[in-house]
Structure 1
């Protein structure tokens, strides 16, 4: 089990994430305290991924507010916590939780891009603190293998180069997040 923390660069906010990757998959638990568009929130989320870094389960809870549960089959088909199909995000293998840099790790690890390679992908974007799920277009490019990747939020004309560590966890996401020093 590995633990990391990120601080928000654009305002008040911090995330504490516990991450455990092993041969049968990845487990993640995290707590985020932040603000978005002037609204403060607390978010707890839990994710499970298969060994190929495809999300199979996501549970998110806003403290005192909304809750969201998603079940994915790893092939782009999703159901909510009641078993209902979510056709609006069909074809999306990855999720992007607005409040965290962690979900950038999912396509970085899953796509296994070669240096200089770029891949546009549909993503299930989860807004924070509303926890509304929408389909968006993004792209990832490998700038330097296992060290730097470019994220393109095609849906909002935003681009940033992110430095990552050996696990694909973001170290620095310019204008949004920076990782805090290791816990002692």
Structure 2
């Protein structure tokens, strides 16, 4: 299955256009985004790969903000994290990656949590500030507030940030994040099958 998703920031100018592909080898996302972040204009491209069970495996990120910077982040099957090829012991407890300016990176965590109404889960994430490309371990908590057939409402809490409500579709893809992001479109691409 392949999907194309487009989000825009709630207040600031910008857009993210993401192509998502799921197959037997795993989940593959490639994205281009432009945003105004804390008064800085950034353009970024990233490729994020997870295994078929939404466990993070690889990220390549390039950001242009008064000059280009890039990084790679990898997690092996033993849970060891490598930042630009260097082992990062401080990320050992992390399960996912969270990009400061991308709504998509909530999806792998929510897919893995699989929460029912009233349940919550706390996850460690490798948080990447897209202005500085600083990578640090952070704790994030998700609480499932309400579930319907086509969408679910979560509260997301992380240290230093005000709680946000996330509305996601049945595939845990963000539809709306309170005062942060709004999904503009979602298309599923299907191959023609000739019989």
Give me the TM-score of the superposition, normalised by structure 2: 0.87
5+ residue gaps, structure 1, are none
Q: Secondary structure of 1:156's match?
A: coil
The secondary structure found in structure 2 opposite 1:147 is strand
Match of 1:166 in 2: 170
The 3-state SS of whatever aligns with 1:11 is coil
Aligned-partner Cα distance in 2 for 1:72–1:14: 28
Q: Which residue of 1 aligns with 2:23?
A: 22
Aligned to 2:99: 97
Does the 8 Å CA contact 2:3/2:186 hold for their aligned counterparts?
A: no
* Structure 2 gap ranges (5+): 188-195
Determine which structure has more spread, i.e. the larger CA radius of gyration: 2
Aligned to 2:152: 147
State the distance in 2 between where 1:6 and 1:157 align.
21
- Note the alpha carbon deviations across 1:119-151, whole angstroms, 9 max, x for none: 112211000122110111110112234522211
User: 1:45 & 1:74 partners in 2: Cα distance?
Assistant: 22
The yes-or-no answer on 1:77 pairing with 2:80 is: yes
Instruction: Provide the residue aligned with 1:112 in structure 2.
Output: 114
| 2:127 counterpart of 1:125 | yes
- Kindly report the root-mean-square deviation, in angstroms, between the aligned alpha carbons of the 2 structures: 1.5
1:43-58 matches, cutoff 5 A: 43-58=44-59
Residues 64-116 of structure 1, C-alpha deviations (whole Å, 9 max, x = no match): 4110101112554201232x211121110111000111001111001112221
8 Å contact from structure 1 (residues 89, 124) kept in 2: yes
> SS state of the match for residue 88, structure 1?
helix
* Contact 1:75/1:91 (8 A) holds in 2: no
SS at match of 1:99: coil
SS in 2 for 1:180: strand
Deviation per CA, 1:159-179: give whole Å up to 9, x if none. 111111122110000111000
- Structure that is richer in strand per residue: 2
Whole-angstrom distance in 2 between the partners of 1:8 and 1:113: 26
1:136 to 138, 150, 154: 138
Alignment length (residue pairs) = 181
**8 Å contact kept, 1:7–1:177:** yes
In the superposition, the TM-score normalised over structure 1's length comes to 0.92
